Amino acid sequence: GESVGLHLPTLSVQEGDNSIINCAYSNSASDYFIWYKQESGKGPQFIIDIRSNMDKRQGQRVTVLLNKTVKHLSLQIAATQPGDSAVYFCAENPGGTSYGKLTFGQGTILTVHP
Amino acid sequence: SAVISQKPSRDICQRGTSLTIQCQVDSQVTMMFWYRQQPGQSLTLIATANQGSEATYESGFVIDKFPISRPNLTFSTLTVSNMSPEDSSIYLCSVRGQGWTEAFFGQGTRLTVV
């Protein structure tokens, strides 16, 4: 079936560096993508989203890039801080009659070293 | 946004028993979903909780094992029936409102079956 996957299951960076977390998706009909951050013992927390009619969207210290040609999504975190350490998931919304449902990628563990 | 409360936050249960998880939202929402997150893994959608009608289950999940109720627009329950150790997971409630883009998650219920 359709799935969302990640290239790198773990990522370690130094405080202050920029982090890039990647995600590949396979459902070309997906029209909406979200990045979530999940800290230990908590539910996923919304970070940033992007619609399929956009290539780039920026938030506070975060940028999401969408490349529909190769079905690739990335999350860039600028000046990474220890508080950014968490598991990051990309998720896609298939759209249409599946509106509201999310298909999650496998997750990337980000560790930020002081 | 929405504030989502799940009860219990965690539980340890004997195999063969059942546990009902509650999800309460602080505002009326259009859509409510239940996800499962097995240890060290990503989130998988169990079902869409429909207000006033039977839930819609995803492939691999059945009503007899995961009965769901949604009596109104702010509350839903998920029951994990006849539990086995393989049911040990985090169960998460998610909501999405009319006109919203992102989906919000509760903090999850960590279930351990012994």
Chain A residue with minimum CA distance to B31: A100
Q: How far apart are CA B17 and CA A48, in angstroms?
A: 39
Q: pLDDT means per 10 residues in chain A (114 residues)?
A: 53 96 90 93 94 95 96 97 96 74 92 94
Among residues B12, B11, B2, B17, the alpha carbon closest in space to that of B75 is found at: B2
Q: What is the pLDDT of residues B28-73, one digit of tens each?
A: 988 899 999 998 889 999 999 999 889 999 999 999 999 999 999 9
CA-CA distances (angstroms) from residue B34 to A29, A74, A82, B62, B110? Answer: 23, 26, 31, 13, 13
Does B34 lie at the interface with A, CB-CB under 8 angstroms? no
Verify whether the Cβ–Cβ distance B96 to A49 is below 8 Å.
no
The order of strands in the sheet holding A4-5 is A4-5, A19-25, A72-77, A62-67, A56-58
Suggest the residue from B1, B29, B41, B42 to mutate for an interface test with chain A (most A CBs closer than 10 A). Answer: B42
Confidence of residue B107 (pLDDT cuts 50, 70, 90): very high
